Each structure stands twice: as structure tokens, then as C-alpha cells.
A and B are shown apart, each in its own frame.
Chain A
Amino acid sequence: MEHVAPELFNGLVLGAFYAIVAIGLSLIMNLTGTINMAHGSFMTLAGYFAFALIARGTNFWFALLVAPLLAVLVAIIVERTMIRPLYGRDPVYSLLLTFGLSLIAEEVFHIVWGANTLPFAPPAALGGTVALGFMNFPTYRLFIVAVLLLVFGLLALFLYRTRFGLRLRAAVQDSEMIAALGTNTQVLYTINFGLGILLAGIAGVLAVGLLGLNPTTGNTLLMPAFVTVIIGGMGSLYGCLVGGVLIGLATSLMTLYVPAASEVVMYILMAIVLTIRPRGLFGEEGLFG
């Protein structure tokens, strides 16, 4: 049992990451039909921005706030210049484009920051462990869960309690009607894309403190995030949360008992969920065929 409890907590941390990344992917996918293969690259980019900021003397907290915003700035430029012309076309085009962008990004990271994993230590205040009574747990991981829960809460407030969130959700249902009612849907798409990348950026900066920083850090979280979206169900934010935690727990338990199956277990989980519920756990009927 003393081995299981820490692994379960690790699974929760991992699951929170998958969930936040998956929600970002899901937001972009739901509104514009774009499968963003560059999502992992934006995470890594935010990580490198944070590294560069800290190397220039700013503290971790400032970097955690500003680096994701810088990544969003890049994302907005990319969306306006390259992704926007592809809306309304076969999804294969935007997928290929973002895949190409991720190839470029990976090589640019190589050139600018090198291929080696860079040291990225969270501040001393977040080092060490916290005694939870029955076990000790790394403070930084608890901090990650707290931040990601806060982000999720703010996002839910934004989407379900503001007029802007209302417009976003309505545009997912019928963007033509929203445009006819006087909303500038192009701006809506851009902000939505930026929002998805903001989530990716926050997750990215937090992840490099855990996984280390190299050109492919973000991409290692991309595939689990896809599986999270599928298990949770397309178009559902809470689905992403539940799906992410399920995968995180399953993966860390497998790492404990059958390490060889730790990567495959999420696909098995996905196959089981889709067999029982073809649209995923919380997938909306009718959305995305």
C-alpha cells in the first residue's frame, strides 16, 4: 500500500496535465474543426520562454504568468496568417499544416536552445516534500495540481458565466447563426485559439519543472491528450477532466505493476470506453459525426 498511494497521486498529477492539454485541444477542435498537431510545440515554446525569462533574472512566478502569454502571442500570429485560410476546408489540411509547424518548431528549438535537456528547477519554496500524514509528497506536484484546478475553475467561469463564453459555446453549435446575430466570428476564432494555447502554455511551463526541458517535452503529452479527448468525448470539457484523470491513474498504476504496458494501457482504456460508449464518456450526440 505504501507504494500505491504515491503512484495514485502521481497519476492524478499526470491526469491533471493531460486534462488541461486536452481541454485546449478540444476548444480549438470544437469551434474550428482544427486538429492542432502543433499543440505540444506551443507547450514547449512556453517552457523555453520561461527558461529564457528566468535566465534573464526574472523570478519563477513572473515567468509562469508571462511565458504562456508570449506563446499566445505567437499562436495568434500563426492563427491569423496560416490557419485561418483553412477554416471550412477538409480537416486534413489544417492537420498537415500544424504538423509541418511542429516539425519546424522542433528544429528551431534545437538550433536556439540545443538538443540537450536544460535544467529547469522550480523555486526553493516549491522544493522539498509535504507530509500528508500517511505519506510525503513533493510540494511542486501539489502546486501543479492546485494551479491546474484553479485554471480549470477560471475557465469554467469564463465559459459558463460570461457573455463571451456564451458566444463561444453558441458558435460551436452554429457559428453561421452567431455571425448573423452580429458577432465577429473571425475574432472569436482567434481568441478561442489563443485561449487553447494559453492552457497549453501554462501546462507547458509547469511540465518542464517536472519532465525537464528539451525540444520534444510538449510532444510527449500530445498523444495522451488526444486519447483523453476521445475517452472524455468530443465537445465536453468535464469529459476531458475525467478522461485525463482516468488515463493518469491507469498509466501510473501500470507503471507500478506492469511497466511494459504503461504506454499501451491508455489505448486499451480507449478501446473499452468506445466499445461501451461509442461517443466517449461525455460526448455530445451529433457533434462531429
Chain B
Amino acid sequence: MTPGRIATLAAVALLALEPLLAPYIKVDVTIVSAALLFAIAAMSANLLLGYTGLPPFGNAAFFGLGSYGCALSIKYLHVHFVGAILFGLLGALLGALLIGPFLVRRRGIYFGLLSIAFGQVFYFIAYRLTDVTGGEDGMSVSRPYLVFPSFTMKETAFYYLSLAVFVLSILAFKLIVQSPFGRTLVAIRQNELRVRYLGLDSNRFVFAAILISALFGGLSGAMSAMLYGFIAPITSLNWTQSGDFVLATILGGAGTIWGPLIGSIIYVIGRDIISTITPYWQIFLGALFVACVLGFPRGILGTILARFGSAPVANDPEDPARTQSPAIAVEHHG
């Protein structure tokens, strides 16, 4: 057993025991569920940011469309749990198919700018379609039954469901980034020109990455909607949510498989604790952004892995492929 595998098993075991530990460590299962689901959205950002090298500031759109797909299907079609998830995924996928073509040929800050702008479209649509979505006030989401109508999920049951969804997601994520497809994404990040010379249409790979990222985001959004039982445009679709996903990814370690989980746990639980202590929690949140960017650009897991010399290249902020000065952009894509 490698140290990595031991750490992985320990982490999963600890998460599995969390409902039993909750009364002692004073960390509620609901907040850990939230962190696990947040981590899936952070993985969605990580696929684009850490592996493909694109700044994903529109991923709140996928998350929010997942939330609204799930919530609307429960409200109007009375679907059960699996149906609600599928409608959430469908919503996110449709969103990605709509905005993907605009993003797919762009790299660097142009991608970031377009993803922020196009992501905001869905925010304003949900905001204005008051009759359907409840507009600014949001809408409540009743948690559907899992298999039998009599089986309604309590918090602990929903926690284990979230954990199961998370474990499946991270396994899928690992398979994707370690497949030839995932390697190609990393190659695009490192030297897209060379990928093209090898005869691969890099834009098609980027488009596929956006679609996969949307599915992860949509899954997270759908599950989160059912966890909280409430959604509103500002907390699900607004671009600031994309910023939070990216922060959690970088905090944990972009370009690493487990980084987003570490970042998400610190971010979600930290935000919960700080917001109960002080009404000015937003200052501390902002300070976390600043401290993370200036002091921890590799993130927690990235820094640990770098100490042992096994950090993935995708994690290095000084890696030439990650430096996008306009002059470089002209040479590469001009």
C-alpha cells in the first residue's frame, strides 16, 4: 500500500464514520454533506482549470442549471430521486451545449471573461422568470423519495447518499483524468500547438471537457438543491459561486484529484463557523482568497505533494504553460 492509498482509505473511513462522530466534533452531518457536494462542483472546475488549463468562471451556470433542473422537475413533474438527478444533469448539459460553442476556441483570460459573461445569462433568466422559478425569492425543493414512496430521507440517510454520490464521482473523475482523454487535456494545457501537430483537434477535446465539467457541476447542483430544500438565483447561478468553486479548487490543489475535496471541506465548514462567530464574515472570506492566492498558489495538497517531489505539473503556478501574458498568447495562438 502506498502512502497515498492509505490516506485515501483513511479519509473515506473517516467520512463514513462522520454521523457517529458528529456530536463529539460538533460538525453537523448536513454541513459535511454540503462540503462533499461542493467538492463535486469543485472537481467540475478542476477538470477545466487544473487539467485543461482554462479559467472556469462560468461553472455556477452548470451548478445552478442542475439545481433548477432538479427543483423544477420535482415541482412540476413530480419525479422521484433518480429522475430529479437526471433532469438536473440534463439542464446542465443543455446549458453547456448552448454556451460551449462560444467558449471552446478561447483560452486564457478571454475564456475567463466569456465564461463569466455567458454564465450570467442563466442567472438573469432565473431571476426574471418569477412565475416559474420564484425569481429573486427562490423556490423551495421538497426532497423526493428514493425508491419507495414511504421512504423519506432524513439527514443521516441523505448524508450517506451524498457520500456515495461523491465516491462515485471521484472514481469517475480519476478514471477520466487518467485516461488517454484526460492525458490529452493536460497536453493541451501544456502545449496545444504540439497537440494539434499530432493531428488531434484540440477544440473537440476542450468541448468534451466542458460537457463533462457541466455534468459534474449539474450533479452537484441537483444534489445540493435537495440537501438544502431551497434554491435561489444568487446562491446557485450567480458567477460569485463560480469564484467559490475555483477558490476551493486552488485552496486544495488544482490539478490534483483530492485537492478539491480538501479545499471544499475547509471552505464550506470554515465559512459556516466564521459566519456564526461574526457578522463580518465576508471580510475573512475575502482575506482567505487573498491569502490563498499570494501564500498558497499550489494549494494544500499541491504543497504537500511538492514537498515529496510528486506534485503533478498541472499544479505548478510557475509552470510556463500556466503563465498567460498577452505576448505569449500571441505567439501560441496568433
Contact = CB atoms under 8 A, between A and B. Distances in A.
Interface of A: 29-31, 33, 35, 37, 82, 85-97, 99-108, 110-111, 172-176, 223, 226-227, 229-230, 234, 260-261, 263-264, 267, 270-271, 274, 278, 285-289
14 contacts: A35-B116, A82-B294, A92-B55, A95-B57, A96-B247, A99-B289, A100-B290, A172-B326, A229-B113, A261-B128, A263-B128, A270-B117, A288-B108, A288-B326
A234 B112 CA distance: 13
A90 B324 contact: yes
A287 B329 CA distance: 7
B144 to A, nearest CB: 30
Interface string B267-298: 00000000000001011011111101110010
A30 B324 CA distance: 12
B326 A100 contact: no
Nearest to A106: B282
A103 B289 contact: yes
B25 interface: no
B5 interface: no
Contact of B327 (A93, A108, A176, A223): A176
Interface in B88-145: 102, 105-114, 116-118, 120-121, 124-125, 127-128
Interface of B is mostly: helix
Contact of A97 (B127, B289, B318, B327): B289
Interface in B300-326: 317-318, 322-326
Contact of A92 (B112, B121, B283): B112
A270 B292 CA distance: 33
A175 B326 CA distance: 9
B294 A97 contact: yes
A286 B328 CA distance: 10
B117 A267 contact: yes
A27 to B, nearest CB: 12
Nearest to B293: A97
A66 to B, nearest CB: 27
A222 to B, nearest CB: 10
B323 A89 contact: yes
B282 A104 contact: yes
Given A85-B294, A223-B120, A289-B107, A100 B102 contact: no
A84 B286 CA distance: 18
A93 B117 contact: no
B118 A88 contact: no
B149 to A, nearest CB: 38
B57 to A, nearest CB: 7
Nearest to B101: A275
Sorted from nearest, which 3 A-B pairs have the closest CB atoms?
Answer: A100-B289, A103-B286, A104-B286
Interface of B: 49, 53, 55, 57, 102, 105-114, 116-118, 120-121, 124-125, 127-128, 239-240, 243, 246-247, 250, 280, 282-283, 285-290, 292-294, 297, 317-318, 322-327, 329-330, 332-334
Contacts of B334: 285-286
Contact of A289 (B120, B247, B294, B329): B329
A202 B227 CA distance: 45
B107 to A, nearest CB: 4
A99 B116 CA distance: 12
Contacts of B49: 92
Contacts of A97: 289-290, 293-294
A172 B325 CA distance: 10
Contacts of B318: 89
Given A97-B289, A267-B124, A270-B118, 12 more contacts: A91-B112, A92-B112, A96-B243, A97-B290, A226-B113, A226-B116, A227-B117, A234-B110, A234-B113, A264-B125, A289-B107, A289-B329
B117 A103 contact: no
Nearest to A288: B110
Contact of B283 (A88, A95, A103, A278): A103
A100 to B, nearest CB: 2
Contact of A91 (B108, B243, B287, B292): B108
A91 B324 contact: yes
Nearest to B105: A278
A108 B287 CA distance: 12
Question: For A107, A264, A287, A288, which residue has the most chain B Cβ atoms within 10 angstroms?
Answer: A288
B124 A263 contact: yes
Contacts of B322: 89-90
Contacts of B317: 89-90, 93
A224 B108 CA distance: 20
Given A35-B112, A103-B286, A260 B128 contact: yes
B333 A286 contact: yes
B114 A230 contact: yes
A176 B116 CA distance: 30
A110 B317 CA distance: 34
Given A267-B121, A288-B108, A103 B293 contact: no
A289 B332 contact: yes
Contacts of A286: 330, 333-334
B124 A264 contact: yes
Question: For A95, A105, A176, A289, which residue has the most chain B Cβ atoms within 10 angstroms?
Answer: A289
